[in-house]
Structure 1
Amino acid sequence: MQQPSGVEPRVRLASDYAWRLLVLGAAVYVLFRLAMRFETIIIAIFLAMVFTALLRPPANVLARLVPRPLAVAVAVIGEICVLAGVFFLVGERVASNAPNLGSEFRGGIQRVETWLEGRPFHVHPGTLTNLQSKIGDYLSAHRSTLLSQALNSAGRAAEVLTVLALAVFCSFFFTHSGEQMWEWFQRQLPDRVQPIWRRCGAAAWRTFAGYTRGVILIAATNAVIVGIALAILRVPLVLPLVLVEFFLSFVPLIGSPIALAVATLVALASRGVPTAILVLALIVVSGEIEGHVLQPFVMGWAVRLHPVVVAVTVIAGTIAAGLVGAVVAVPFVSIVWAVVGELRAARTEPPTDTETEIGPEIGTEIGPEIETDEIP
């Protein structure tokens, strides 16, 4: 007769789950550290997937008129030309406005100093003068450090160009023969799990592509709204600020306010306090439009995540991997949630003649196979 162990069944069950969760957590940690080791490659692959989500629709349309390799090449070259043209236009605009910007910013700083000396701050004029001299002394004393940081930034710029080149290279093949690559990967798996991998892969790609197109549409809308408002307020550097707004909008919830905060500083230095207050009010208006109109309407069908989940995910991604983590976190969690939904659906759907047994770890039956044309 088996002797009682003296441990409550619930405690034993909790301990069983605890050590399994510890093992899973250790595995996730090891995978995360490995991913950070190859961060450059992972970022390039992520960007390649983003480019693929954008290139597939025009490439599919062009493929009806010309051979598919030529259609993909035209789409990729068009993408490169658009990106290069945007950055060239921004650089040209900044260079052409550089002579006038210096005088505008100096006049703006004087206006800010006058404002701080008046009500309600009553800052002593000597304080501002001493602050400017301290800043100049600091820059002179740390000139070598600032120079080394500038050289490091140049190295980072070369790394960014390498990542972009690898992303464009991979996106060409993902767009041209992504289905064949996905089929090859599935053939390496056991026959009994291939259908569920096909189904989960289709759901993952559908979610990622929908998120990518949706966030680009939201970013473009925010950029247009901000550009029109800054042009009306006659704030300088409108095009660079619009570009900053567009790219930072890829970080949900916090990206757009950060970009508009930069625009507020530019407006404060160049146009004075009233214009800066109006730009600051634009942060509230833009946030309301994005949170209550654009996000539910554009992203609701692609990413079914609660705003609280999105906020926590962005913060967790920022803590784990900085800006890259903030950008990648939401699509990653969205893909995981879509795959979990497919696994649940596979376990609850009734069997049919075309279903295949996949084992007890996932379920006993799955539904009809999903077309792999949805996979990049």
Structure 2
Amino acid sequence: MNEETTQGRDRGSVYAVHLRSSAVVAVQFVAVAAALWVLAWVVGETWVILLPVLLALIACTVLWPPVRWLRSKGLPPAAAVMATLLLAVLVVAGVIAAVAPAVVEQSTELAQQASAGVVKVRDWLGGPPLNISQSQLDSAVSAITDRLNSSGAQIATGVFTGVGAATSALVTVFTAIVVTFFFLKDGPRFLPWLRRHVGRPAGPHLAGVSERVWSTLGGFIRTQAVVSLIDAVLIGIGLVIVGVPLAYALAIITFIGGFVPIVGAFVAGGLSVLIALVSNGPVDALIVLGIIVAVQQLEGNVLQPWLQSKSMNLHAVIVLLAVTLGASTFGVIGAFLAVPVAAAAAEIIRYYGEHVSGLTGEDDDGPDPESGPESDPESESGAEPDNEDDADAAAEVP
């Protein structure tokens, strides 16, 4: 009967059904796109508030283990958090105090070597095969000077903008520290509060997603810190052996750049090679380049797969696109936050996929297209499924 009915339909009715389905999908897509646009607008407008919160969450993933250990020893929550924060501030201040004198001392020498390099470039331009005359070089320098003088107002505006940005950064850091304190102190109460006030059926799902995102984010930050530390130590030792100025500062930059995958390593490595080229010459620069390439190969082929395994389950292309989008939208801080945000989003999508698989009775990898009714365990046992019970089970949210 169904076959006859299907054969009796004309093309116009089939086209109309398909068009209506396409229209419904298109309207749903537009609605979702509009909702995402509104969400992006809200994030942009409240970024000054969201940024300290995000930084505090990342800091909490690193500081929570010592806080938890101190609380397990009987220390009050506020005292445990305060002791951990003070220790973290002392560590950061100690690193800066240890590196700053070397940076100040070697930066003067590096500036002198850069000036000598400029003189060498001028002599090279004046010699064969270019044979640029001194008058032409003076004319080019004069043009650059005039351009800088005419842009004085813009440069001054940029300086004031930089001062304002530095002030905003200090406010953001202070706010993030305060938020971190309260997150570490009252964090364990958040999930029960969320589950209780949201209610069923969304409350348990929000709590479950939050736990998995927190676990993934903490594992990523701690693992990336270990990988970045190993990179910084190995590259720093190589720079010290070669005799590159600012080796300790470059090692710290390498450690910080490790938290921005792909792009951070490229920028930190390029800076090290550039300083080696200016200070020591092309041979040492090539040696430094070889050291950086070897360490990056060790990281990409051994450390990352071994330490992170498949916990992140993010393709390199997704990581690169996330870093590019974050950097183009929010600058350096966006590049830093891109991978943690992408990891959290991937975990949310993974949780949703597992929930859908549970409702449909499928495996995590999806149904086997080659399996038929013969592979159904209930069919093999001869038991008939109860449609009403299955419908009730599917309607319940686990």
Relative to the length of structure 1, the TM-score reads 0.84
Q: Which deviates the most, 13-22 or 41-50?
A: 13-22
Cα distance between partner residues in 2 of 1:132 and 1:235: 30
Residues 90 and 153 (structure 1 numbering): CA distance in 2 closer, same or farther, change over 3 Å? farther
- Aligned partner of 2:299 among 290, 315, 326: 290
- Are 1:42 and 2:53 counterparts? no
Give the Cα separation in 2 of the matches to 1:106 and 1:30.
52
Listed one character per residue, the Cα deviations across residues 78-115 of structure 1 (whole Å, up to 9, x for unaligned) are 11122223333343322233443332222333445566
Which of 45, 56, 60 lines up with 1:52 in the alignment?
A: 60
1:137 deviates by 4.3
Distance 1:365 1:39, change over 3 A: closer
Number of the residue aligned with 1:321: 330
- Considering Cα pairs closer than 8 Å and 6+ residues apart, tell me whether 1 or 2 has the greater RCO: 1
Residues in 2 aligned to 1:290 and 1:8: alpha-carbon distance in whole angstroms: 56
Mapped partners of 2:333, 2:131: distance in 1: 40
Q: Would the aligned equivalents of 2:236 and 2:247 in 1 still touch at CA under 8 Å? A: yes
* Aligned residue number for residue 221 of structure 1: 230
Q: Equivalent residue for 1:340?
A: 349
Contact 1:48 1:170 in 2 (8 A): yes
Counterpart Cα distance in 2 of 1:294 and 1:138: 49
Q: Which runs of 5+ in 1 are unaligned?
A: 352-358, 367-376
| Number of the residue aligned with 2:31 | 23
- The residue type paired with residue 171 of structure 1 is T
CA RMSD of aligned residues (A): 3.0
Aligned equivalents of 1:284 and 1:124: distance in 2?
37
Cα separation, 2, equivalents of 1:176 and 1:281:
46
Q: Distance in 2 between matches of 1:176 and 1:8?
A: 60
In structure 1, the partner of 2:272 is 263
8 Å CA contact retained: 1:268, 1:276:
yes
The verdict on how the C-alpha distance between 1:136 and 1:292 changes in structure 2, with shifts beyond 3 A counting, is farther
Change (3 A) 1:23 1:308: same
User: SS state of the match for residue 235, structure 1?
Assistant: coil
C-alpha separation in 2, matches of 1:344 and 1:6 = 32
Aligned to 2:165: 156
Distance 1:89 1:150, change over 3 A: farther
Superposed displacement of residue 176, structure 1: 1.6
Structure 1 SS opposite 2:198: coil
* 1:257 and 1:283 in contact (8 A); partners too: no
- SS state at 2:349 partner: helix
Q: Please state which structure has a larger fraction of its residues in helix.
A: 2
**Greater mean alpha carbon deviation, residues 334-343 or residues 123-132:** 123-132
* Post-superposition offset of 1:178: 0.5
Identify the residue that residue 219 of structure 2 maps to in structure 1.
Answer: 210
Cα separation, partners in 2 of 1:249 and 1:134, compared to 1, 3 Å: farther
**In the alignment, which residue of structure 2 is the partner of 1:106?**
115
1-side partners of 2:89 and 2:307: how far apart? 26
Partner of 2:189: 180
Q: CA deviation at 1:255?
A: 1.1
Pick from 169, 184, 195 the counterpart of residue 178 of structure 2: 169
Structure with higher Rg: it is 2
1:209 to partner: Cα distance: 1.0
Aligned partner letter, 2:335: A
Tell me by how many angstroms 1:347 deviates: 4.1
Checking the alignment, whether the CA contact within 8 Å between 1:231 and 1:238 is kept in structure 2 is: yes
- Aligned partners of 1:346 and 1:363 also within 8 Å: no
Over residues 249-291 of structure 1, what are the superposed CA-to-partner deviations in whole Å (9 max), with x where a residue is unaligned? Answer: 2211111111111222222222122222223334433332232
Query: In the TM superposition, what is the alpha-carbon distance from 1:301 to its structure 2 partner?
Result: 4.0
**Contact conserved, 2:324 with 2:335, CA < 8 A, in 1?**
yes
CA deviation map 1:227-264 (0-9, x unaligned)? 11211221112222222222222211111111111222
What is the distance in 2 between the residues matched to 1:190 and 1:37?
A: 29
Q: Does the aligned pair in 2 maintain the 1:112–1:272 contact within 8 Å?
A: no
The answer to whether the 8 A contact 2:194-2:207 is kept is no
* SS across alignment from 1:345: helix
Q: 1:102 to 1:313 in 2, by over 3 A?
A: closer
Among all aligned residue pairs of Structure 1 and Structure 2, give the percentage whose two residues are the same amino acid.
Answer: 26
Compute the displacement of 1:132 (Å). Answer: 4.9
In 1, are the aligned partners of 2:64 and 2:184 still within 8 Å (CA)?
A: yes
Aligned partner of residue 302 in structure 1, secondary structure: coil
> Is the Cα contact below 8 Å between 1:107 and 1:270 reproduced in 2?
no
- Contact kept, 8 Å, 2:235 with 2:292, in 1: the verdict is no
How many residue pairs get matched? 356
